[in-house]
């Protein structure tokens, strides 16, 4: 079994080795060498790996196999053993009995023979004694004859009675012999006697013998001499039954046919036994001799000898062993064969006289071998009473049982041996046992083989699975590591950029200081400006990286706040149009009317998306236009034409409805789920992007053309951020095919629409007011879009793209009306196109038309002084039409002053988009109404500012502007302030940071500096950077720098009202420093503050309004804070606090708990006091936690003055309005 196992193992190893060889040699030789080498290496690597794992698996397998083999082997052996050994044992005992029995019978027969022989002998001796005694003295021959006759009769009687007797002899001391002999072969019976005549009666010899027993030997010799010399023997056949003499006596030689027992055989007068061999029979004879004593018992008168043939014993043995083909034999103690079960001769005929054969010389091979075996095993000398029982002796070719028995007769010890072939007794058993063994072994071999195969298959599967698992684990590990490293990367980037921003801010701030220094030379100033620009660019890059890493690390959390999408985009376009002026690129905003006004989302991020896109477009567009289109994909669109007016009205009344929306705040939260899909397109006429790069431009650090970095700068991060943000907002962005040059980026965003569908229409209808708008604008695209939109809204429009066209239309319009025109140097006659003519005709059909002429300042020839003439020309039409001057950002102040001097009050800065037009038209309509009511001219002045800043209102921050369209006649300053605020906001959003206004301040520094002193417009832009400082309301002493003077001066509220005037704020803050700082800040803004030390006090203060005063008295820090005018009224008006500023980490009860408690107590009362979290945790998850517990907003420490103000304002306005 072991050898097979090893062979198996070896076979497997060998097979594996050959397979390795095969597979390594099976590589195609023709392939490239390099590749082959690599493959080889890989293979070797794999094979060593495989080999090591294979060995371990192999060892396990081997162990299992060995165990299985041992188990099955044991089972087999045990089974075989138990079945075989017990049968063998029982069979053996049976066989032994059989053998014993078998042997016992011939021995008994032998015994019988011996017994009978001895009995006969004794009987003969007794009878002979009697006969001899009865005859007394034999004096005469007659007496002697008579006695011999009597003896003969007696002897015959005995002889006849025993058929088995071979012969009976009587030899008398005178040498006379009487004998009966039976020839068994011929079945003849003879009487043998010696010649009586030769014997004398007188026997001196007897006397001698009587006298001296000791000289018996000499006497004997005399007997023998007598016998040999002188006796003549006769043999007379007898009837075997009757004993009648039937034949004539024949003379035979003495001792010829039979052996006569003489005196020599009874030397000591006792019976003797011996085995004799006769000449006449081929079997040994058993002869016994006994002397016959005379009456006095002193001398032997005769010797009686009886011989018995042992032939019958042999016959019996033959019969016995015939059945089982065994062999039996009897030997004398010396080893002479006495009887065998075979026909083999017992006598050695080769010698004369024949002698008994030794058993070892027997002709029968089996007997001979058995005898030899016995002699070998027990030595020559057979020990008395030693019996041998041996099973399983190999004699010749077969196996035999050998058993020997010892029969101890006096003078004739016998040994019986029986040899039985094993086959006879155990033949079947042995055969069966062998067969069983073979079957068992083969069965177990089969089982082992099958088991091994099963184990192989199983372990193969297991090892494969384990390998796969190990691989999987390592893969997972690798993935985890990769993710971790990616995270580290993002983290690192974020940290780095964050850390870098701080020194960058310092650099920029210091540069600003340096630039504001007057003592710089021009060159230095230019250098510093350059450094300033570079720093800003660097900062932008850092911000981009920060954005990307935020998105990548998944930490970018989008705000969810309501904002006016249109307004944000308008602000954006406003800003970029400034950039475009240098490029002669037209920036156009084209939003469809069905765009939802208010959406929910992260306005800063949305603006960032478009800022990046437009920035890109402008960067790559040297001339032409950049259009931002937007439309709304309604999931269930209704017919546009029917809704068109309604939508238009909606657009304009949005601001009013917003107030209502606040009231419905709670209601709307449930309905807010509807997501709108807003589509946008940024279309430019720039160099375009190769179609193969359409996908890759959105990857980080990818640019369409490697040369762009050189030409246009940039890092290729912008579009990546855009895509990340768009995806984050549930949208997609792609570059789409465009006819003509340029790029067309299409994207959609999924934003929540915040507005109610059932908006009310409260706008002044711009249609049906008899408005005729003449658009004399430079940019073709913008003009046509505007005009198309106006016509859709039922406003009659005309277009002119240059000065000449304008004059022609003007002339046509007004000259046909008034038919009295003065010809001027400017009006050159051109043939009027037919289309224009028909338009003019249709205009004439309008009743009471109001002409609105929008004139691009670029139409005037500004390079020379001709523009004054042109103004003068237009001035003639001042009374006939309303002029709107579309100014550029760089329009010089002299022109503006001139315009104002001439009474053109409505100016608007480029670009001219819908909201501005709507605003202008509204004003025009209102003004007309005013005029109709004969208002005095002074009001015009008021309106002027409105018009000047109508753009501001449209792009204003939604919180503040809500009052603007409804109360256009508010103070100038207020509008200015809004304008500032909006610019600040927009810029802030574009940069993507809300807290570092100093960065924002700088990008427009240059142009603000150019126009600093003479342009109020740019001045206001400049002030935008510190709008909130206005609310400090403190006109402190001059602090040296002009910039600050401006800020402070402007910041002074016109009505002396502080931004948070009248608000009551509960401040829960445990750190005294922060408490103090926040208190002062809030008080500066005009709010009255109650400060408490922990959350529990805050909750108590809110819950127990009557206890407010106690708390104030208790808190030792707040004596100065209790400046509010009338606590009594506050207590009465529930809630007395307008807002809570809540620190998150406080002793006793933290901010979260306190907020929860407050919100809980509010349940049912319908009150919702705004709670603003104050926390030093700057992570967005904290923000989420704050909002989760019910806080409304979130401020980080250190408290930013402006941010706090705007947050508080937005929250309190919401509630108070």
Partner 1 sequence: MEVGQMQRQWLDYTRSLFIEGFLDGQFLQLEQLQDDNNPDFVVEVVSLFFQDSHKLLNDLTIALDQKSVDFKKIDAHVHQLKGSSSSIGAQRVKNCCIAFRNFCEEQNTDACLKCLHQVKQECCLVKNKLETLFRLEQQIMAAGGSIPMMELSF
Minimal distance in Å, beta carbon 1050 to partner 1?
16
Nearer to partner 1 by Cβ, of 616 and 1175: the residue is: 1175
Nearer to partner 1 by Cβ, of 484 and 1117: the residue is: 1117
- DSSP annotation string for 630-644: EEEE-SSPPPHHHHH
**Sign of the C-alpha dihedral, residues 1054, 1055, 1056, 1061?**
negative
d(CA 391, CA 382): 19
Nearer to partner 1 by Cβ, of 812 and 996: the residue is: 996
Contact 954, 920 (CB under 8 A): no
Minimal distance in Å, beta carbon 524 to partner 1?
19
- 3-state SS, residue 355: strand
Q: Which of 470, 506, 897, 1181 binds partner 1 (CB under 8 A)?
A: 506
Does 1161 bind partner 1 (CB under 8 A)? Our answer is no
φ and ψ of 19, to 5 deg: -65, -40
Q: Segment near partner 1 (CB under 8 A), from 250-258, 377-385, 736-744, 1191-1199?
A: 1191-1199
Minimal distance in Å, beta carbon 1070 to partner 1?
7
Minimal distance in Å, beta carbon 1041 to partner 1?
5
Minimal distance in Å, beta carbon 509 to partner 1?
5
Interface map 988-1027 toward partner 1 (x if CB under 8 A): ---------xx--x--------------------------
Residue with tokens 């038919």: 819
Q: Which of 1034, 1114, 1119, 1188 binds partner 1 (CB under 8 A)?
A: 1034
Q: Segment near partner 1 (CB under 8 A), from 130-138, 409-417, 508-516, 686-694?
A: 508-516
Residue with tokens 């599967």: 461
Nearer to partner 1 by Cβ, of 684 and 1205: the residue is: 1205
Minimal distance in Å, beta carbon 491 to partner 1?
13
Q: Report the alpha-carbon angle 298-304-305, nearest 5.
A: 140
d(CA 488, CA 495): 10
Nearer to partner 1 by Cβ, of 323 and 1073: the residue is: 1073
**Which residues in 702-731 contact partner 1 (CB under 8 A)?**
none
Interface map 1049-1088 toward partner 1 (x if CB under 8 A): ---------------------xxxxx-xxx-xx-xx----
Minimal distance in Å, beta carbon 1188 to partner 1?
20
Minimal distance in Å, beta carbon 1071 to partner 1?
4
Minimal distance in Å, beta carbon 1200 to partner 1?
8
Minimal distance in Å, beta carbon 1031 to partner 1?
11
**Which residues in 248-307 contact partner 1 (CB under 8 A)?**
none
**Sign of the C-alpha dihedral, residues 663, 665, 670, 674?**
positive
Other CB atoms within 10 A of residue 1055 CB: 9
Indicate the pairing of strand 624-633 with strand 585-591.
Answer: parallel
Nearer to partner 1 by Cβ, of 319 and 499: the residue is: 499
Nearer to partner 1 by Cβ, of 65 and 508: the residue is: 508
Q: Report the alpha-carbon angle 1090-1092-1096, nearest 5.
A: 130
Q: Which of 988, 1032, 1059, 1136 binds partner 1 (CB under 8 A)?
A: 1032
d(CA 170, CA 306): 9
Contact 367, 419 (CB under 8 A): yes
Does 513 bind partner 1 (CB under 8 A)? Our answer is yes
Residue with tokens 């039922």: 794
Task: State the number of binding residues for partner 1 (CB under 8 A).
Answer: 41
Q: How many residues does the chain have?
A: 1217
Does 1036 bind partner 1 (CB under 8 A)? Our answer is yes
Q: Which of 183, 361, 512, 869 binds partner 1 (CB under 8 A)?
A: 512
Minimal distance in Å, beta carbon 960 to partner 1?
22
Minimal distance in Å, beta carbon 1134 to partner 1?
30
Other CB atoms within 10 A of residue 386 CB: 13
Q: Which of 250, 458, 510, 526 binds partner 1 (CB under 8 A)?
A: 510
- Terminal alpha carbon distance of the chain: 99
Nearer to partner 1 by Cβ, of 423 and 1202: the residue is: 1202
**Which residues in 1197-1216 contact partner 1 (CB under 8 A)?**
1197-1201
Residue with tokens 């220094």: 517
- 3-state SS, residue 629: strand
Nearer to partner 1 by Cβ, of 431 and 995: the residue is: 995
- DSSP annotation string for 768-787: TS-EEEEEE-S-HHHHHHHH
Minimal distance in Å, beta carbon 501 to partner 1?
10
Interface map 1096-1135 toward partner 1 (x if CB under 8 A): ----------------------------------------
Q: Segment near partner 1 (CB under 8 A), from 564-572, 783-791, 796-804, 1029-1037?
A: 1029-1037
**Six token digits for residue 601:** 């989302």
- Any idea what DSSP says for residue 396? T
Half-sphere exposure of 1106 (CA within 13 A, CB side): 0
- Among left, alpha and beta (phi > 0; psi -120 to 50; other), residue 533 is alpha
* Helix, strand, coil share of the chain (percent; to 5): 55, 15, 30
Q: Which of 62, 440, 505, 942 binds partner 1 (CB under 8 A)?
A: 505
Minimal distance in Å, beta carbon 1117 to partner 1?
9
Minimal distance in Å, beta carbon 699 to partner 1?
34
For 929, residues 6+ apart whose C-beta sits below 8 A from its C-beta are none
Contact 589, 573 (CB under 8 A): yes
**Six token digits for residue 648:** 């238009």
Does 1039 bind partner 1 (CB under 8 A)? Our answer is yes
Minimal distance in Å, beta carbon 1076 to partner 1?
5
Other CB atoms within 10 A of residue 482 CB: 10
**Six token digits for residue 1217:** 């309005």
Q: Which of 481, 667, 1013, 1041 binds partner 1 (CB under 8 A)?
A: 1041
Nearer to partner 1 by Cβ, of 350 and 1116: the residue is: 1116
Q: Segment near partner 1 (CB under 8 A), from 95-103, 504-512, 905-913, 926-934?
A: 504-512
- DSSP annotation string for 889-923: TT--HHHHHHHHHHT---EEESP--HHHHHHHHHH
Nearer to partner 1 by Cβ, of 579 and 1180: the residue is: 1180
Minimal distance in Å, beta carbon 1029 to partner 1?
8
Nearer to partner 1 by Cβ, of 507 and 840: the residue is: 507
Q: Where are the alpha helices (DSSP H) in 553-639?
A: 565-580, 603-620
Q: Which residues pair with 293 in a beta bridge?
A: 300
Nearer to partner 1 by Cβ, of 394 and 498: the residue is: 498
For 805, residues 6+ apart whose C-beta sits below 8 A from its C-beta are 776, 830
What is the arrangement of strands in the sheet containing 300-309, beginning at the earlier edge strand? 250-252, 233-238, 188-194, 177-183, 165-172, 300-309, 284-293, 272-277
Indicate the pairing of strand 1064-1068 with strand 850-856.
Answer: unpaired
Does 516 bind partner 1 (CB under 8 A)? Our answer is yes
Does 1040 bind partner 1 (CB under 8 A)? Our answer is yes
For binding to partner 1 (CB under 8 A), which residues are involved?
502, 505-506, 509-510, 512-513, 516, 997-998, 1001, 1029, 1032, 1034, 1036-1037, 1039-1041, 1043-1044, 1070-1074, 1076-1078, 1080-1081, 1083-1084, 1143, 1145, 1176, 1197-1201
């Amino acid at each position: 079994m072991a050898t097979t196992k090893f062979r198996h193992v070896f076979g497997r190893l060998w097979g594996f080795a050959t397979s390795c060889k095969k597979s390594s040699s099976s590589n195609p030789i023709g392939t490239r060498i390099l590749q082959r080498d690599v493959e080889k290496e890989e293979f070797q690597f794999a094979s060593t790996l495989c080999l090591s794992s294979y060995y371990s698996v192999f060892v396990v397998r081997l162990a299992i196999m060995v165990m299985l083999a041992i188990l099955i082997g044991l089972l087999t052996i045990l089974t075989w053993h138990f079945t075989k050994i017990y049968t063998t044992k029982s069979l053996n005992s049976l066989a032994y009995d059989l053998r014993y029995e078998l042997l016992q019978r011939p021995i008994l027969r032998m015994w019988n023979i011996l017994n009978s022989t001895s009995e006969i002998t004794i009987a003969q001796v007794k009878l002979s004694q009697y006969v001899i005694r009865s005859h007394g003295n034999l004096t005469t021959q007659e007496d002697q004859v008579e006695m011999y006759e009597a003896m003969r009769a007696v002897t015959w009687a005995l002889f006849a009675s025993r058929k088995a007797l071979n012969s009976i002899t009587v030899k008398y001391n005178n040498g006379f012999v009487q004998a009966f002999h039976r020839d068994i072969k011929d079945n003849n019976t003879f009487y043998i006697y010696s010649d009586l005549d030769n014997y004398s009666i007188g026997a001196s010899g007897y006397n001698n013998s009587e006298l001296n027993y000791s000289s018996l030997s000499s006497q004997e010799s005399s007997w023998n001499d007598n016998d040999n010399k002188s006796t003549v023997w006769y043999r007379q056949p007898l009837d075997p039954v009757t004993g009648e003499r039937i034949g004539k006596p024949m003379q035979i030689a003495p001792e010829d046919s039979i052996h006569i027992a003489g005196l020599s055989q009874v030397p000591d007068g006792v019976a003797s036994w011996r085995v004799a061999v006769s000449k006449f029979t081929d079997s040994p004879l058993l002869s016994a001799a006994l002397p016959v004593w005379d009456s006095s018992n002193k001398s032997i008168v005769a010797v009686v000898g009886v011989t018995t043939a042992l032939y019958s014993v042999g016959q019996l043995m033959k019969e016995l062993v015939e059945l089982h083909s065994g062999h039996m034999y009897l030997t004398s103690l010396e080893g002479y064969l006495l009887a065998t079960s075979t026909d083999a001769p017992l006598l050695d005929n080769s010698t004369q006289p024949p002698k008994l054969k030794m058993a070892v010389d027997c002709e029968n091979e089996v007997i001979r071998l058995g005898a030899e075996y016995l002699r070998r095993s027990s030595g020559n000398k057979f020990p008395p009473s030693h019996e041998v029982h041996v099973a399983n002796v190999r004699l010749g070719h077969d196996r035999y049982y050998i058993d020997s028995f010892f029969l101890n007769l006096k003078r004739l010890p016998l040994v019986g041996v029986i040899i039985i072939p094993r086959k006879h007794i155990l033949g079947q058993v042995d055969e069966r046992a062998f067969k069983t063994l073979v079957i068992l072994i083969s069965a177990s071999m089969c089982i082992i083989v099958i088991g091994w195969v099963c184990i192989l298959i199983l372990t193969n599967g297991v090892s494969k699975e384990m390998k796969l698992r190990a691989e999987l684990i390592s893969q997972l590990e690798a993935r985890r590591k990769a993710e971790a490293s990616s995270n580290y990367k993002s983290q690192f980037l974020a940290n780095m950029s964050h850390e870098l921003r701080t020194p960058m801010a310092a650099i920029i701030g210091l540069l600003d200081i340096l630039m504001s220094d007057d003592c710089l030379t021009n060159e230095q100033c230019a250098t510093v400006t350059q450094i300033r620009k570079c720093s800003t660019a660097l900062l932008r890059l850092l911000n981009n990286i920060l954005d990307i890493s935020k998105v990548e690390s998944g930490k970018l959390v989008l705000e969810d706040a309501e904002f006016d999408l249109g307004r944000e985009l308008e602000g954006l376009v406003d800003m970029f149009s400034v950039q475009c002026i240098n490029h002669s690129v037209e920036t156009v905003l084209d939003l469809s009317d069905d765009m939802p006004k208010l959406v929910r989302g992260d306005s800063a991020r949305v603006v960032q998306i478009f800022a990046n896109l437009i920035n890109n477009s402008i960067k790559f567009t040297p001339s032409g236009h950049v259009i931002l289109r937007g439309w709304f994909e309604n999931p269930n669109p209704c017919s546009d034409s029917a809704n068109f007016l309604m939508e238009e009205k909606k657009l304009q009344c949005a601001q009013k409805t917003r107030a209502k929306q606040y009231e419905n705040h709670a209601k709307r939260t449930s309905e807010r789920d509807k997501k709108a899909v807003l589509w946008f397109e940024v279309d430019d006429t720039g160099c375009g992007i190769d179609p193969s790069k359409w996908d890759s431009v959105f990857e980080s650090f990818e640019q369409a053309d490697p040369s762009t970095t050189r030409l246009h700068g940039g890092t290729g991060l912008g579009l990546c951020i855009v895509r990340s943000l768009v995806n984050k907002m549930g949208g997609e962005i792609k570059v789409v095919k465009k006819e003509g040059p340029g790029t067309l980026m299409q994207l959609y965003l999924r934003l929540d629409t915040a507005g109610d569908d059932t908006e009310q229409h409260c706008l002044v209808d711009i249609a049906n007011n008899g408005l005729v708008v003449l658009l004399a604008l430079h940019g073709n695209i913008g003009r046509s879009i505007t005009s198309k939109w106006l016509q859709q809204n039922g406003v009659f429009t005309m277009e002119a793209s240059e000065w000449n066209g304008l004059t022609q239309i003007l002339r046509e319009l007004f000259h046909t009306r008034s038919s009295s025109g003065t010809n001027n140097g400017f009006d050159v006659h051109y043939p009027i196109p037919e289309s224009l003519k028909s338009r003019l005709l249709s205009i004439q059909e309008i009743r009471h038309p109001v002409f609105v002429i929008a004139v691009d300042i670029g139409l005037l020839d500004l390079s020379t002084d001709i523009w004054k003439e042109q103004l003068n020309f237009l001035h003639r039409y001042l009374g006939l039409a309303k002029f709107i001057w579309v100014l550029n950002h760089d329009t010089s102040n002299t022109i503006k002053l001139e315009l104002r001097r001439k009474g053109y009050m409505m100016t608007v800065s480029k670009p001219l988009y819908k909201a501005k037009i709507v605003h202008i038209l509204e004003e025009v309509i209102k003004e007309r109404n005013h005029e109709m009511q004969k208002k005095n001219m002074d009001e015009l002045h008021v309106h002027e500012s409105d018009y000047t800043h109508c753009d501001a209102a449209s792009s204003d921050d939604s919180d503040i502007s809500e009052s603007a369209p409804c109360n256009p006649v508010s103070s100038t300053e207020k509008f200015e302030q809004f304008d500032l605020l909006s610019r600040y906001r927009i810029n802030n959003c574009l940069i993507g940071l809300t807290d570092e206004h100093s960065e924002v301040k700088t990008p427009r520094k240059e142009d603000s500096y150019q126009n600093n002193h003479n342009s109020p417009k740019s001045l206001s832009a400049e002030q935008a950077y510190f709008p909130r400082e206005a609310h400090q309301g403190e006109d402190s002493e001059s602090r040296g720098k002009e910039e600050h003077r401006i800020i402070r001066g402007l910041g002074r509220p016109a009505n002396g009202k502080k931004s948070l005037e009248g608000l009551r704020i509960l401040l829960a803050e445990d750190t005294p420093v922060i408490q103090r700082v926040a208190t002062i800040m809030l008080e500066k803004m005009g709010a009255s503050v109650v400060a408490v030390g922990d959350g529990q006090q805050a909750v108590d203060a809110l819950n127990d309004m009557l206890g407010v005063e106690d708390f104030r008295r208790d808190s030792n820090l707040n004596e100065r804070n209790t400046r509010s005018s009338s606590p009594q009224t506050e207590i009465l008006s529930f809630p007395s606090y307008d807002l809570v500023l809540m620190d998150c980490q406080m002793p006793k009860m933290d901010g979260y708990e306190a907020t929860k408690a407050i919100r809980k107590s509010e349940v049912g009362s319908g009150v919702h006091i705004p709670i603003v979290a104050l926390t030093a945790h700057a992570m967005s998850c904290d923000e989420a936690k704050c909002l989760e517990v019910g806080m409304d907003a979130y401020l980080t420490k250190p408290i930013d003055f402006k941010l706090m103000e705007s947050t508080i304002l937005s929250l309190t306005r919401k509630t108070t309005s």
